[in-house]
Amino acid sequence: MGRTPRPGSRRSGTVRHDGRVPETGPETGPATADPDLLIDFRNVSLRRGGRSLVGPLDWAVELDERWVIIGPNGAGKTSLLRIAAAAEHPSSGVAFVLGERL
């Protein structure tokens, strides 16, 4: 199953997907959530316009933990938190938020 972009679009090439979602992958590990984790990122990255905004990174937040995200402007703090808030999907990797896979 493939889709070719319309002429003049910024995308190029053909997208192919057979509809199956693998249970595991070489970079993601098991596709099940750990019930003790609020956030579980496995090799998560976010790219926009050919530019890497976040990662790749692994990050796990347990129920009783508090985190502070610090960094310079443009480091990807807001993008990371948008994934953690389930407002954005990662470009690659697996992200679980409250036990649900994004």
> What is the predicted pLDDT for the residue at 32?
78
- Tell me, what's the pLDDT at 36? 86
Would you state the pLDDT for residue 33? 81
Specify the pLDDT at position 60: 94
DSSP readout, 23-91?
Answer: S--TTT--SS--TTEEEEEEEEEEEETTEEEEEEEEEEEETT--------TTSSHHHHHHHHTTSS--S
pTM exceeding the 0.85 threshold for the entire prediction: no
pLDDT score, position 55: 86
Which residues of the chain, if any, have pLDDT below 70? Answer: 1-31
Residue 47 bridge partners (DSSP): 52
Q: What is the pLDDT of residue 77?
A: 94
DSSP letter at 101? Answer: E
pLDDT at residue 93, as a whole number: 95
What was the pLDDT predicted at 21? 43
- Phi-psi sector, 99: left (phi>0), alpha (psi -120 to 50), beta: left
**Number of neighbours of residue 95 by Cβ within 10 angstroms:** 22
- At 3 the pLDDT is 47
Name which of 90, 100, 88, 81 is nearest 45 in CA terms: 90
Specify the pLDDT at position 15: 41
